[in-house]
Structure 1
Amino acid sequence: MISVAEARARILSAFSALPAETVALPDALGRVLAEAVVARLTQPPFQATAMDGWAVRAADIDDADATTPITLRRIGEASAGHAFAGTVGSGETVRIFTGAPLPAGADAVVMQEDTEADGDTVRIRRAVPAGRFVRPAGLDFSAGDELLTKGRLITARDVALAACANVPWLRVHRRPRVAVLATGDEIALPGEPLGPSQIVSSNALGLCALVATQGGIAHNLGIARDNAESLAAMAAGAAGCDLLVTTGGASQGDYDLVHGVLGDRGLSLDFYTIAMKPGKAVMFGRVGGVPLLGLPGNPVPTGIGAILFLKPILRVLQGLPPDEATRTAKLGAPLKPNDAREDYMRATLTVGEDGDPVATPFPRQDSAMVSRLAQADCLILRPPHAPAAEAGETVTIIPLSGGVLSL
């Protein structure tokens, strides 16, 4: 058996960022930039007012106050999308609305609350300095500015920024295509009639869902039965994909066929056991030119293996760092000493009275309990041979959240 760290290093060394493609801006959410986004215009492109009010020459109203207002003559109006074509001269003003270009000759805006209009006469009751309530051209950014860097995961806010910069197309890494193949006579699809010795297949659907949350495109190949012909035929459906993920059949039992059957069809195996629990039976290799990640048949080891290995593969294929950082939390319940395998314990995450996060492992950590994995907020990572731990001690956790749809 090899360690989790060595397995991850060997797996990730086999992958690199996929080629770039051009997509329309509305389709870029959740994609990773292969090229930086550069502004195609200056924003705002002109001096604009930040308030409804009156565009003035600040020097004309230096002495204005509530008791001695300054009277100006109205010569026009400016609104968003409709600039005033003339020039504001001495003693003149233009009615202006938020977002409108500041008229030539004016250098400030007086809020409408500080004025009183009567026909073409406007009394200004407060002096303002030059530049008051005026947004200069380029306040936000200028043409040629790099706004979004290469390697950035595009959020909804980024889509809005690119739109402001008049960028209708983005260069992003291609989405990974992942084939998912469940194996075993004992499983049936949800909703199908179950035989007396069968259970419902959950692994493939969960893996496909994880692939989608991480920006990939999942192809569910279905369920291969426990015979060589079925497994070989269905695994062939992974041709053209960036990764084949199998679930079940990766151990050494009489009906664990993935290694043997695919070995006869050119499987080059890197490793097939990892010193971790749950989920020792994890294999990695390549078959027919497609990388293969073989995960266990039990649903919890499959889910944890996907978090530890499949998720970072998908990130690397999209040009992202392989992992988000682990965190620390206080332990919410005592733990027994760990054995020789790295342990990933399902746990809830709450906030303690001191404001620190508290990770509390479920009392039972059975590898078939899908409900506990679904209810978990994090995994508590326990190194091999970790000593017993008391409640309140600091532990390393892996949060079970985060995906391509970050705001």
Structure 2
Amino acid sequence: MLAILPLLNKDLKLTMATLEEATTIILDRIGTTGCERVPLLDALGRTLAEDLAAPYDLPGCDTSAMDGFAVRSAEASPGVRLAVRAFIPAGTTAPAPLEPNSAARIMTGAPIPPGADTVVPFEEVREEADTVILPSPVTGESHIRLRGAEIASGATILRRGTEIGVHQVSLLASCSHAVVPVYRRPRVAILCTGDELVELGTAPGAGQVVNSNAFALAAAVKEAGALPEILDIARDSREKHLALLAQGLKADVLITSAGVCGGDRDLVRGALSELGVEPLFWKVAIRPGGPSACGVKGNTPVFSLPGTPSATLIGFELLVRPVLLKMLGRQTFFRRRIAATLEVPLRNRPGALGVVAVQARFSAGKLIIEKARSRSGRNEPFTPNALALLPKERSDFAPGDQVEALLLAPSLAMEE
């Protein structure tokens, strides 16, 4: 099976893709996960898998929109004195009919008694003993919420594909949807490879590095709404790779880190081929992250990302995250991109889309890129909130130039 790989590398369309081609190829092959029903609060942040309808009218009867007096508008001429014959608090289920030439003291949300057709707020009347005097004329259906005025029975309240937030939970609770159909969260297996890796909590020795990619990828998977599963480290042997990759292929998605660049001990490609994974592309024309590969086995997409931490997260952001969002039933798969102005110079090696982790801010409604991660690794650690996307045709970008930026931080997107 390993002999297939050189032949595949001769097929440029299979082995090298632009970012747009790569995302199109994989998104066209992957659908949503199945539907599951979860308690209402557990649906927060999930995506609705079916249209949902109102099982009854809201409100379920004509109710008062104000604290006041329920009266007949025909009897409520200016200066008339009406006897207060009833008190109707919220929660009353069957108020008695309103007597002629009388008023009923009524609270907000209480049902309108039969015979009444309007509510006069407390502040618009004068009370004397057990009577109420109406100084001004009133009209019918004032301050009344009519049955079904908000939602009619059988009306669709939320459409499939809606992301469920706080306001959607409120609406679903109002319609007594205690259990909600949502797209199942995909299980994402994460496999990092290499003899140089040591587990989290272990001080690395000479030539060793902590398996940070596993936790960075798990955090990114979780942030996207899926369920990460970190597998054991795949040491540099064919048997270990085959066993752990086979385990990972039981998940809904498999992500590997390192072992795809074609070195003597880069075993991922060959092992995936032996396990029957159909390759879709082996390289993407982006830098860093070019050696990123993707394949499928059955319904399971497999993403093989480079081992450099920055390239791993860039590969996840640009290739894996959109697929997870589609599996989760989201209607939008990609983060927002907007034009940004540079305050710092950037460089790219022509021939591939340059992707640079940056810090950006909004100023006077414009996005400004104020700091960039150096590829030399000499700058202090910083947390990027955007990715600068540098066209493959240019190498040098000076302060004042405009480039496209992909916004990573929700708080940054809201600053504009």
Q: Provide the TM-score with structure 1 as the length reference.
A: 0.89
Q: Match for 1:255: what amino acid?
A: R
8 Å CA contact retained: 1:348, 1:360? yes
Corresponding residue for residue 386 of structure 2: 378
How do 1:271-290 and structure 2 match up within 5 A? 271-286=281-296, 290=300
Q: Match for 1:349: what amino acid?
A: A
Report the secondary structure of 2:59's partner residue.
Answer: coil
Match of 1:186 among 193, 196, 205: 196
Match of 1:32 among 31, 39, 47: 47
- Where does structure 1 lack aligned partners over 5 or more consecutive residues? 65-69
8 Å CA contact retained: 1:266, 1:288? no
Match of 2:167 among 150, 157, 166: 157
- Where does structure 2 lack aligned partners over 5 or more consecutive residues? 1-15
Q: Match for 1:17: what amino acid?
A: T
Match of 1:23 among 29, 38, 41: 38
Q: 1:4-46, CA deviations, whole angstroms, 9 ceiling, x for partnerless residues?
A: 1122122222211122223332322222222101111110111
Corresponding residue for residue 4 of structure 2: none
Corresponding residue for residue 67 of structure 1: none
Q: Match for 2:183: what amino acid?
A: H
Q: Give the Å deviation of 1:301.
A: 0.7
Q: Match for 1:253: what amino acid?
A: G
Corresponding residue for residue 130 of structure 1: 140
Report the secondary structure of 1:13's partner residue.
Answer: helix
Structure 1 residue 350 corresponds to structure 2 residue 361:
yes
How do 1:212-291 and structure 2 match up within 5 A? 212-286=222-296, 290-291=300-301
Corresponding residue for residue 210 of structure 2: 200
Corresponding residue for residue 397 of structure 1: 405
Aligned length: 396
8 Å CA contact retained: 2:95, 2:111? no
Distance (Å, rounded) in 2 between the aligned partners of 1:59 and 1:26: 48
Distance 1:337 1:201, change over 3 A: closer
8 Å CA contact retained: 1:73, 1:122? yes
Distance (Å, rounded) in 1 between the aligned partners of 2:52 and 2:304: 38
Q: Give the Å deviation of 1:385.
A: 0.9
8 Å CA contact retained: 1:301, 1:367? no
Distance (Å, rounded) in 1 between the aligned partners of 2:158 and 2:228: 28
Report the secondary structure of 2:29's partner residue.
Answer: coil
Q: Match for 1:344: what amino acid?
A: V
Distance (Å, rounded) in 2 between the aligned partners of 1:148 and 1:368: 50
How do 1:4-15 and structure 2 match up within 5 A? 4-15=19-30
Corresponding residue for residue 319 of structure 1: 329
User: Which one is further off, 361-370 or 131-140?
Assistant: 361-370
8 Å CA contact retained: 2:83, 2:101? yes
Q: Give the Å deviation of 1:298.
A: 0.8
Distance (Å, rounded) in 2 between the aligned partners of 1:29 and 1:100: 31
Corresponding residue for residue 352 of structure 2: 341
Q: Give the Å deviation of 1:390.
A: 4.6
Q: 1:20-75, CA deviations, whole angstroms, 9 ceiling, x for partnerless residues?
A: 223332322222222101111110111111111111222333324xxxxx321011
Corresponding residue for residue 71 of structure 2: 56
